Amino acid sequence: MLNIDLHCHSNVSDGMLSPAEVVARAAANGVHVLALTDHDDVAGLDAARVAADAAGVTLIPGVEISVSWRGQTLHIVGLRIDSSHPELAAGLAGIRAGRIERGRRMGDDLAKSGIPGAYEGAYDCAVNKQMVGRTHFARWLVAQGHAPDIRSAFRRFLTRGNPGYVEHEWTSLESAVNWIRASGGMAVIAHPGRYAFNARDLHLLLDAFRAFGGEGIEVITGSHHPSEYGKFADLARAFGLKASRGTDFHAPAEGVDIGRLPALPHYCRPVWQGWPELAPHFSLSPA
């Protein structure tokens, strides 16, 4: 079986490893096909490509776009994107500009709760200064002793109703799907089990996403409990969406390791069906 992991992060966004280190770890874990999907930035793809060619890993250029839809934040993964496409590049640059302004507001909010200097601290924790996110704030809060670990930092701070959480308007679902499609890519709903939607809103989302030209949904992800796999496999089938598999790997000590998840249920139609990049892995060795 091919090991295909279509969701992971490098330090170009909120991962801990460089793009080349992510690829090396994927190769060591037996991953054949890897998509690097940093939040709102594609700056790691060139280095990942060089490392993937050297390691014999098939790299799929990807991105994970932050979206606001009906008052909630969603993540839309773009796969097989052209990272140099001007419409996609401009859209992502706009989101990153919004992150800087949001980061300052998060810092102000934490300062009001007696924790000054958080934006500067998070900024120092980020390798890519355009991509400061909540994970960088969480790492700084842990380093300063305000929380014992990342998970607690998110529980006490940075989440709705807690210090450091500010509302933010990301891009629209329609724009994210359009940018991905304009660049030749496929749009996939990331970790659907993480959103606090009731069944009606979830169905509305799947219908809207399909109508905008979205094609896939993550079924097997590090964010889903195994008991959720069947539900999202069934929803994919019911809504005519292809199924994806990705760990959402961020760092060696956080969450699921690259490539370490079960296969898609057999009745799923995989997002990678028909991708020419996979052909080398299927060629038979000469008899």
Question: Which residues lie near ligand AMP (CB under 6 A)?
Answer: 14, 39, 66, 133-135, 150-151, 154, 250
> Site for Mn ion (CB under 5 A): which residue of 49, 75, 102, 146?
75
We find the least distance from the C-beta atom of residue 62 to Mn ion, in angstroms, to be 10
Q: Does an H or E element contain 137, and which?
A: helix 134-143
We find the least distance from the C-beta atom of residue 248 to Mn ion, in angstroms, to be 4
Here's the x/- map for Mn ion, 23-62, by CB under 5 A: it reads as ----------------------------------------
Q: What are phi and psi of 209, to 5 degrees?
A: -60, -45
Here's the x/- map for Mn ion, 211-250, by CB under 5 A: it reads as -------------------------------------x--
Nearer to Mn ion, 20 or 150 (CB): 150
Q: What are phi and psi of 54, to 5 degrees?
A: -70, -35
Residues 6+ apart with CB under 8 A from 273: 242
Q: Closest-CB residue for Mn ion?
A: 75
Which one of ligand AMP, Mn ion, none is in contact with 270 (Cβ closer than 5 to 8 A by kind)?
A: none
Tell me, what DSSP letter sits at residue 91? H
Number of residues that bind Mn ion (CB under 5 A): 5
Instruction: Give the torsion sign (CA, 119, 120, 125, 127).
Output: positive
Q: Does 14 bind Mn ion (CB under 5 A)?
A: yes
Residues 6+ apart with CB under 8 A from 54: none
CA distance 223 to 64: 15
Question: What does each C-alpha distance from 238 to 200, 210, 211, 233, 241 come to in angstroms?
Answer: 14, 12, 15, 9, 8
CA distance 233 to 244: 10
We find the least distance from the C-beta atom of residue 234 to ligand AMP, in angstroms, to be 26
Query: Given the rule CB under 5 A, which residues bind Mn ion?
Result: 14, 64, 75, 190, 248
